[in-house]
Amino acid sequence: MEAKKTRIFDNKARPAKPLEQEKQNNKAMKKINFFKICLLLSLSLATVAFTSCEKNEPSTNPTENLDDPNKPDNPDNPNIPIDPNNLKEGQIYIKFYPSAYEGSTDVVTFSCVAESATVDWGDGTVETFKNMNNHYSHGYGDGINKEREILITTSGLTIFGGWVYNNNLTSGYVSAESWKCKEIRFGNCPDLYFINIEQCSDDLKILDVSKVTSLKRLNCSKNNLTALDVTKNTNLEMLACAYNPLTNLDLSNNPKLDILICWSNQLTSLDLSNNSALTYLELTDNKLSTLDISNNGLLTTVKCSGNQFSKSAMIDLFQSLPNNSVIPYYAVSLERAIAPVRDGTEKWVDMSDNPGNCWNPYEPFANHYLTIGWQCSGISYTCF
């Protein structure tokens, strides 16, 4: 009986072994799966972190760091060009080709009146100036003949260009030794009222002052500008743009314009109907054949020699000269077209060197056609 019971016990005990093994195996598999999940999760987190680091690398956007005037655009590579069409308040952008000779030391100079300015000279050098009332220079001693860019970030800028002494801008210009300035652009400089970049460069073809709405005086003569937009400069009182190849000049939005010096350009027409404040007009050596000054009742000086006026066009101009009171006229020198002084008490018109400047000696002299109070110079009795 005991042996039989033992067999019965053994027969019942044998099936229990596979169940225990299966449970143990299940526990082991769960542990393995748990470790796999943890490993996959760790790898996923590492991938996300790596990607995030890549995205957070320093940007090479050259305009990103311009909010801090003490930093160059990109300390790692200061030669990355700035976006000249996206200048911030107080900024001035200059592009130039400094030298015609390899191995030379180039020097660039500008002058201004400002509270302060930080200048990125484009070669990794950044300087900050305060209480500015002088000219400021930088030398490029690398001997590399290449195009360069300058970014000037100013505060309280009132005058730019020329030589500045005692807060007065005298004759002079943005200058350099052997440089060839190609482009100058101004951001919004809310206190800037005078820009003088006369004789900056024969290569200067782009001048953007459209954002300087406070501008009152602009002298950009003796450059190579093929276009000049002053339609946004509604406060402009003096414009000197002589010796440029300008073929068009829109003055329709400059009602305060008092002085216009635009000789030696290529203008074939000019609309002055919205410039009723004009007193001094100089258009010598253009290609004008007519000029309507019927809305310019304050004129005291008109110089239109060296154009294409016929005799009848000259007479029309003579007879349309304003019959205003004899106000001393402006004697303006291009070299010092800064604050013209009044000189004399006569009103003058000059129409010499025009095709119509041919008068029959038996015909009444040109003064016969002049409005009372005007004097005429340059009229001859011979055709030329």
User: Hey, where are the domains in the chain?
Assistant: 96-212, 258-384
With a cut of 70, list the residues of the chain below it in pLDDT: 1-81, 98-106, 142-143, 162-179, 325-346, 358-369, 377-384
pLDDT of residue 318: 85
Give the per-residue pLDDT at 49.
56
Residue 270 in tokens: 């000019």
User: HSE of 215 in the Cβ direction (CA atoms, 13 Å)?
Assistant: 27
What is the DSSP track for 253-279?
A: T-TT--EEE--SS--S----TT-TT--
CB 152 within 8 A of CB 106: no
The pLDDT value recorded for residue 175 is: 45
**Residue spans of beta strands (DSSP E) within the chain:** 91-97, 106-120, 126-140, 148-155, 159-160, 163-165, 168-170, 175-176, 180-186, 194-196, 206-208, 217-219, 238-240, 259-261, 280-282, 301-303, 330-331, 341-342, 347-350, 374-377
The whole-number pLDDT of residue 105 equals 58
What pLDDT is stored for residue 333 in this prediction?
A: 41
